[in-house]
Structure 1
Amino acid sequence: MSSSKPFHVLQPVPTPGGTPSYETLRASILSEFASRVPSDLYLPESILTNPPKDVTLIPATCGLLTPSELAITSSYDAVALAAAIASRKLTAVAVATAFAKRAIIAHQLTCCLMDWFMDEAIERARSLDEHLERTGTTVGPLHGVPISIKEHMPVKGHYTTTGFLDTRVVSPEDCQMVAILRAAGAVFFCKTIQPQGIMHLESVSVYGRVLNPHNIHLSAGGSTGGEAALIAMRGSVLGIGTDIGGSIRGPAGFCGIYGFKPTSYSLPTKDFIVGGFGAELNVMSSTGPMSNSLRDLDLFVRVVKGAKPHLEDPRLVPIPWTGLGTPVGTEGKGPIKIGVLMDDGSITPQPPVRRAIEWAKAQLEEKSGTSFVLKPFAPFQAARAMKNIRKAYWPDGGKSVRAHIAATGEPTFPLTEWILKDANGPGVEMTASEVLQLRVERDEFRTEFAAHWAAQDVDVVLCPMFVGPACEHETAFYWNYTAFWNYVDYPGVVLPTPVRAGKKGSDEGERYEEDWVPLGEEDEHVRELWEAGDFEGAPVNVQLVGRKWYDNELFGVLETVKEALELR
């Protein structure tokens, strides 16, 4: 039942305004979304007018979810949900209802959704329950598991955009990834917000600004920020992201969940971006799962690879998935060698990040036994990598971005201007020779770095995920700790730690060392951002990285260090 009352979504930091026609269209889109939300799922005005900094506890205390719905959304990961539905402990309808309701609660608190279709999800779940009752078997390994989908990934009958209002269309068919998951029994119930142009580390767009659930004055990251916020709020059990500069790992780290960026062309991205993306002439995008448990990441990849997507998309490399079951450090091979990168030589991580790396290092040293050894990992030319990748992102000089924006009077968001600043000049396209030269330089860099890695004699690298914890809104400037690994195309997983940013000035561990000397202007700026900001409560993740194509081995290492790093 819809309501005459306004549907409110928290937005403490407003988004830029556009032309009158843009604002009219935007209002119409938001009104259309609100019309589908029943009034009995509206949060009380008292919560929305005076919200706490940390909104993660509100779904459990707002009174809109039953005890059973709270248990379903709080107590299970995707692996456990699939088992509970298959054994008929839970019905797919009960699960879909619980997550759809919690998702719309999460949206009111974090602005994480661009589409929400509870009725469709329940109908799909009902058909799955009937199938199980009739046949005694599940449709597939994800039977009844609710999965949320990032905005630009086509889901049949629902809106998709490539980050601009003029590209908003209803998808006539599922993309390959969604079709695989649907065939495996997944239930789709919402789509999540990405930023303008899909190329920010903050998710802000025509639909609004996604807020970090742990501190709404901080960013939820981007470009898969809507997914990260939703999963952190337990409004989804499993989601899909893409990553060409940190767009899975950044938001997963900002929001304290798990995220996996595979080596490119490991998992299907067919039809993700209509018309393609010029950056992929030199930097490949990757797609992967985001969740609240390590084993969910493993389940997702196993299901998708098990569908043999390479038979439909010959770009994919058909490496079988062994994941967490991959043997590593077995007898005769010696212990696993873990390199520890404290900084990249360009930007010193802010205090909570250093604490998180030190925590992980101490945990591993304490419980290493004969399974693994730690050693320092020296940084390698991060400034060169970042200069090259920023140029490679926009071979058309940003011309397509500006054309999309002009088409509807959409405002140019501040971080859109930031990411375009290293392009080849406003609207100046690179020549074929210039694009080729970027590729030659990229391949030379990759070869040099491979030699550097080999000389360090490590199997994986433990390193920061970002220069700090989740950043304040409109300050996601420095992608070094994720984009570097996109440039060399190495797989990485971001992992939660118990470390949280403290209240500024109240904790010795939240201060830079007295003898700290900046590594350069960017490093100095990162400290200024730290001194000016309020990051209280922000979770801090760490990142574990493996060699290109060593995705299985990376997961084998994760299984070995799981207990030491207190991973779910």
Structure 2
Amino acid sequence: MGGGPSELAIVRPKDLPKGTLEYEKKRAAILDAFARKVPDELRLQATLIDNPPLDVSTVPASCGILTSKEIRITEHYDAVGLSEAIATKSLTAVEVATAFSKRAIIAHQLTCCLTQWFMDEAIKQAKELDEYLERTGKTIGPLHGVPISIKEHIPIAGTNSSGGCIVSTVLDKEDSHMVAMLRSMGAVFYCKTNQPQAIMHLESTSHYGRTLNPFNINLSAGGSSGGEAALVAMKGSVLGVGTDIGGSIRCPSAFCGIYGFKATSCILPMKDFISHPFSAELNVLASTGPMCRSMRDMELFTKLLIDAKPWLHDPKLIPIPWTGLNTATPKKPLKIGIIEHDGFIISQPPVQRAIAWAKQRLSDPAHSSAFEVKPFTPYNAAEAWSKIRRMYWPDGGSVMKDAIKAGGEPVLSLTDSIMADAEPHGMLSAEDVNQLRFQRDQFRHKFADSWTEQDVDVVIGPAFVGPASAHDTAFYWTYTSLYNLVDYPGVVFPTPIKAEAGEKYAEDYKPLSKECQHVKELWEQSNFEGAPIDLQINARRYHDNEMFGALALMKDVLELP
């Protein structure tokens, strides 16, 4: 499971396929450069790496590398709390940067969640912030000294980024728009996190390695922002930035039991996020958002960025003021649609338990004046899944596959899987793409009409077909990609439900589709014990504020942190 003596040993329950000799040499050089940065005192014992527990989430606090104060800093504060503690000098920015940098590299050895780690630079930045506070009595901004982790493809000045394959790696000279905004607010950057090949899997497998689920290492941490999710769940980050075009914030957040917010498109800044334009966005717009451990941190991140008026620098963005958790519900009771299944795939047993738990809580007669709970079925989820798989690849996947192969990199099975529907059609003409857009808009109209007919304000349902996926089996993103197709916002939030050993499908189960039957087979083939369960809340397009207002109303009933 571990690496050789010249490597940074990392838990590896399942290896990735090999590429060409040239590719493997380049990959080894990248990993060796990373390893040389990690001092011996921050390396876990080989016996632990070679014989890890199934659940590695508690190892950082028990391995002896972190001091008791560093454990407290990384476990007992959210981003809001850290900003307050640093501003009042209860903690220094250097203490915080040191604690999270150390915990991040421990988390990486257990889950392969990082692509780059720059502790020295983070401490240097934090020291400058401490000196400024000491000299002026003021903070640089509202995130003064708060460490923020960043997904691999998002540029940070002086670090590398890649677009989903090794040949796309570039050294970025400037911050992307959002990173520059966060830096100006005082945020400290200390690492970048793993993503999948092609940035289009629900498993973060790349030339940097395979990211593992902290609560069951035989499961995926999700993708494409899987490194972020694993790092936040391991408490090696308090706040991370992900992106989402099919579930890439929400699914990994759900797999790892944390919060994840996918905004409606063109609300949060994404300028310069990728070095090469992605043709999927001709019809399916990507979005971005925070991944974190508290509801108020989602609020903090979103409010700070929107209040800074990013549309002044990026005219693509829509200037919608942020009211978030303070958004008043225009009428009561709040009408909540509960999605027990989407008519296409019935989710696996622990997700069904989580849905039942939320439904029971919200339906309690004690809350009848606040909530009206009713069943909800999304419009034609099967059609949505078929359409979006075509729309992701108007080039038939050729641009990405050619880049992958050019570097001698093996094309991974999940890359082949997500391109399978589009590849036979090859490079589409402009009119072909135009017709797909027409089909998309027709679907959106029908979806909106169905939502209106079912008369709900928000819906709550599964975030994924199961608690997580076993490695290389994340085939069905139907519960999240649906909302990318219609461009509705979504938040995934933690529940107290975890997958248990021996859980079985209901005796009266009947598959809704061949995909539904396959999901049942996948459940029976693997052990999901210990995996946390998130649920997803969605609202209409550009009703992000109203969705947060609904979350605020449900906070106490659903015991949301």
From 506, 513, 518, the equivalent of 2:511 is 518
- Percent identity of the aligned residues? 58
Give how far 1:334 is off: 2.3
1:466 equivalent in alignment to 2:467: no
Match of 1:73 in 2: 74
Could you tell me whether the CA contact under 8 Å between 1:159 and 1:170 is conserved in 2?
yes
1:507 aligns with none
With normalisation by structure 1, the TM-score equals: 0.97
Matched, 1:562 2:561: no
Question: What letter matches 1:410 in structure 2?
Answer: E
Matched, 1:499 2:492: no
Once residues 402 and 73 of structure 1 are traced to their aligned partners in structure 2, the CA distance between those partners, rounded to angstroms, is 40
Give the residue type in structure 2 aligned to 1:91.
T
User: Are 2:6 and 2:32, in contact at CA under 8 Å, matched by a contact in 1?
Assistant: no
Within 5 Å, give how 1:186-197 maps onto structure 2: 186-197=187-198
| Contact 1:467–1:481 under 8 Å retained in 2 | yes
| Cα shift at 1:369 | 4.0
Task: State the partner residue of 1:159.
Answer: 160
Alignment check: 8 A CA contact 2:262 2:287 kept: yes
In 2, the alpha carbon distance for the partners of 1:159 and 1:546 equals 36
Q: 1:221-246: per-residue Cα shift (whole Å, max 9, x none)?
A: 00000000000000000000100000
Task: Report the Cα distance in structure 1 between the residues aligned to 2:332 and 2:309, rounded to whole angstroms.
Answer: 34
Structure 1 range deviating more: 365-374 or 234-243:
365-374
Cα offsets for 1:168-219 (capped at 9, x unmatched): 1110100001000000000000000000010000000100000000000000
Task: Pick from 506, 518, 523 the counterpart of residue 530 of structure 1.
Answer: 523
Give the secondary-structure state (helix, strand or coil) at the position aligned to 2:367. coil
Amino acid at match of 1:523: C
Helix, strand or coil at the partner of 2:90 = coil
1:448-459 alignment runs, 5 A limit: 448-459=446-457
Unpaired segments ≥5 residues, structure 1: 505-509
What is the CA deviation profile of residues 247-294 of structure 1, one whole-angstrom value per residue up to 9, with x for unaligned ones? Answer: 000000000000000000010111111131000000000000000001
Corresponding residue for residue 550 of structure 1: 543
| Paired residue type of 1:302 | K
- Given residue 141 of structure 2, which amino acid in structure 1 is its aligned partner? G
Amino acid at match of 2:188: V
Counterpart contact for 2:493–2:536, Cα < 8 Å: yes
Alpha-carbon distance in 1 for matches of 2:173, 2:260: 29
Unaligned runs of 5+ in 2: none
1:373-426 CA-to-partner distances (Å, cap 9, x unmatched) read 101112311111111110000000111012101211011011000011011427
Matches within 5 A, 1:72-471: 72-329=73-330, 333-366=331-364, 367-425=366-424, 428-471=426-469
Q: 1:391 is aligned with what amino acid?
A: R
Do the aligned partners of 1:203 and 1:224 also contact (CA within 8 Å) in 2? yes
**Match for residue 489 of structure 1 among 487, 490, 493:** 487
Q: Tell me how far 1:297 sits from its aligned partner.
A: 0.4
Choose from 525, 528, 533 the match for 1:540.
Answer: 533
What is the CA–CA distance in structure 2 between the aligned matches of 1:363 and 1:88, rounded to whole Å?
41
Distance 1:298 1:50 in 2: 40
Task: Give CA deviations for 1:516-542 in whole Å, capped at 9, x if unaligned.
Answer: 111111011000001111000000100
Q: Distance in 2 between matches of 1:146 and 1:312?
A: 25
Amino acid at match of 2:417: W
Partners of 1:112 and 1:211 within 8 A in 2: yes
Alignment partners' CA distance in 2, 1:364 and 1:86? 38
SS at match of 1:425: helix
- Aligned amino acid, residue 387 of structure 1: S
Q: How many residues align?
A: 557
Residue 467 of structure 2 aligns to a residue in which SS? coil
Q: 1:4 to 1:352 in 2, by over 3 A?
A: closer
Contact 2:7 2:32 in 1 (8 A): no
Q: Is the 8 A contact 2:152 2:192 kept in 1?
A: yes
